[in-house]
Structures are given as structure tokens and as C-alpha cells.
Copies of this chain bind each other. A is one copy, B any other.
Amino acid sequence: MKFDYKDLLENCIPGLSIDCVVFGYKDKKLHVLLVRFIDSHVWALPGGFIPKDQDMDAVANQVLLQRTGLKEVFLQQSHVFSSLNRHFDINPRSRLVMDTIKSTWMEEQKEELEAWFSQRFISTSYMALVDAEKVHPQIDVLSDACDWIPLDELPELIIDHSEMIHQAHEQLRMKIRLLPIGKSLLPERFTMSDLQSLYEAILDQKLDRGNFQRKMIRLGFLNRQEKLMTGAQNKAPYLYSINDEAYNELLEKGIGFS
């Protein structure tokens, strides 16, 4: 399979791209979905270019679908990055990526492609929240790895992608205070301590167990289900699921975690 540079040159808007900051929750930690470019072994956010006949939300949804197999998850615009040094050759890492792309795939139309990749790219970041268990990360023709990386173990990334991640994390931290998040990041059923760990991971602070439970129950968007027998030598926790009706009501009112 070859990189379809003809499609790129003919049908995509030059100088514009999107990048997706996909958050997932695994092993009591927040993770981000990253891809690794072939040969160069440089990490980056999964992204894409904008076809002339698509809007950016559609492209972001498509990138997400392609990388995770998921549709209709929480996905929203985050921020536009347009600084003058957003080139693929701004730092050694990014230059490596560009060199690899060029040497590997450019056979014809070398000049056009080189021009295409050497201009400034204005990129819009999207933030997605997904259930990490449901995702089976997919590589593509330009990447030889696509994996969940814990937020506190990020490798060096191309251009300003780590800034994008930090910006999205900050935005998530703000959002959780106005809206009950969780729904998108957790599986159908989860324990209260799952939910608490998620909040602790997002807010990056310890919360009191009893008070957290009381507060969440009182918000009234949780349905208590049967108990979960873990096999551990302790009291079995209840499982909870989300009452969509109550959840959406809270979303509308903008009531979240203080």
C-alpha cells in the first residue's frame, strides 16, 4: 500500500490539518492515543488533512474512526495552532518525519509534494474522550505503531503536539467542573472507585472517598446495579451505570464537580 499523494495534492487544502487528542482511561491513568511514524520512529498525535469537500468535524470523526473504530463518541474542537514555525522541519524530530515521507513515498511530483509539506501548517486540535477498552488502535500507511501512552510518560513529539495535549488536558480539567464527564471515558458499568480514580486522574488530585461517593450519588445520574465479585478479599463494590436521561439533564444545566 502506498501513500496516496495524488489525492493529497489534488483534493486537500494545503497548509491546513487537524490533530486529535484522544483521551482514554486505563489502569487508573489517563492515556493519550499516539502514532509512530514509519522508519523515523517519531511519535505524534493522529491527524489528517482537510479534503476540499469536507468540513473539519467530519475529518476529525474520520480520523477517530480510522484509528479507534469508534463512532459517535465525545469529540470536540479544542484549539487552533497557527504559529509561524509550524513546519514539518521546525525541529530535528519533525524534519526526520518529513525526510522519511519524502524518501519513502515521493517518486513523482517531488517538487509539489515538497512544497506542500514545507509550508506552514495551521492545525486545529480536537479532543476526544473514549472508552479505552473498546479501542483497538490501528496503524496506517505512514505509521508503524499506534498506542495508548500514559499522560505522564509522553515521549518527545513533533512540532507542538505536546502543547496540544497539555492544552486539551487543561480544557478537560475545566470542563469536568461544569459537566459530568465520565460517560465517554468509562465502560457501560463501573465501580465508584473507577469513577473516583478517573476524576483524580483528570484533576490530578486525591479526593476523599466518602465525600466523593456522597456527591456523585446525590447528583443522581447513576443507576446502581448488581455487585461485582472481583475475587479479592474484600467487600464487593456495586457496579453503576449512567442514567442517560438524568445525565443529559445535568449536561444541559451545566452542573458538574465543584
> What chain B residues lie within 8 Å of A120 (beta carbons)?
52
Determine the interface band of chain A, counting residues with CB < 8 A from chain B: 20 to 34
List chain B residues, Cβ under 8 A from A84: 53-55
Known: A55-B83, A83-B55, A122-B56. A174 touches B254 (CB 8 A): yes
| Measured CA separation A66–B187 after assembly (Å) | 51
Q: Does A100 contact B (CB under 8 A)?
A: no
A13 within 8 A of B: yes
Q: Count copies of this chain in the complex.
A: 2
Chain B residues closer than 8 Å to A122, beta-carbon distance: 13, 16, 50, 56
Q: Which of A30-61 contact B (CB under 8 A)?
A: 50, 52-57
Min CB distance A243 to B, Å, is 24
A173 to chain B, nearest CB (A): 9
Which one of A13, A50, A79 has the highest number of Cβ atoms from chain B below 10 Å of its Cβ?
A13
The answer, yes or no, to whether A162 is at the interface (CB within 8 Å) is no
